[in-house]
């Protein structure tokens, strides 16, 4: 999601990019029907409340992207014992970091880069963020661990009141 980007990027273009990337990765897609400009903690939680996953990977809520933060926050609130956060660019760095490094093999790097290349509308406006993760390791963080919990607490203290459920 891109918050109030405009710039001629359409919903159908974003959907097509996501469908193609997920097809390459072999991952199913379910769209929630929330417009970028209407994403809130409340409407996301309402749409996800009846889902009972065995494991959840969500963006760590310390990103420059407010939608990433909402998704990470709600995933943790709904499924605290099932969430593993992945690191994206943060408020202070474009370089992902975390407790658990997943170093991709050559074929995985190629596949990741092919999936990233599907998001041409996003690359055109966020190229620095895409270049920062191309061909690099992924990092995971367990929110039940002390370091990540401190980040969550700090983020909740600074988060806007509109994110309260």
Structural domain contains residue 5: no
Q: Is the Cα torsion angle 85, 87, 93, 98 positive or negative in sign?
A: positive
For the full predicted model, state whether its pTM sits above 0.85: no
Give the C-alpha separation, 7 to 161, whole Å. Answer: 29
Task: Work out the mean pLDDT of the chain and round it to a whole number.
Answer: 82
Structural domain contains residue 37: yes
Instruction: State the pLDDT at residue 72.
Output: 93
pLDDT in tens, 36-87: 788 999 999 999 999 999 999 999 888 778 888 999 999 999 999 999 998 8
pLDDT in tens, 137-155: 888 888 777 555 555 544 4
Structural domain contains residue 2: no
Q: Domain limits at 61?
A: 11-163
Structural domain contains residue 35: yes
Residue 160 in this model has a pLDDT that exceeds 90: no
Instruction: State the pLDDT at residue 6.
Output: 54
Give the C-alpha separation, 76 to 85, whole Å. Answer: 9
Instruction: State the pLDDT at residue 53.
Output: 94
């Amino acid at each position: 999601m891109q918050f109030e980007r405009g710039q001629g990027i359409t919903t159908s273009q974003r959907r097509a990019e996501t469908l193609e990337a997920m097809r390459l990765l072999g991952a199913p897609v379910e769209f929630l029907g929330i417009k970028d400009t209407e994403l809130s903690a409340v409407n996301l939680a309402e749409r996800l409340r009846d889902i009972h996953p065995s494991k959840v990977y969500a963006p760590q809520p310390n990103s420059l992207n407010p939608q990433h933060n909402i998704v990470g926050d709600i995933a943790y609130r709904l499924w605290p014992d099932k969430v593993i956060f992945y690191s994206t660019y943060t408020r202070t760095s474009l370089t992902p970091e975390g407790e658990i490094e997943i170093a991709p093999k050559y074929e995985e790097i190629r596949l990741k880069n092919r999936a990233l290349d599907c998001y041409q509308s996003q690359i055109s406006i966020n190229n620095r963020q895409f270049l920062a993760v191309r061909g690099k390791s992924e990092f995971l963080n367990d929110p039940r661990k002390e370091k990540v919990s401190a980040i969550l607490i700090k983020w909740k203290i600074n988060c806007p009141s509109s994110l309260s459920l």
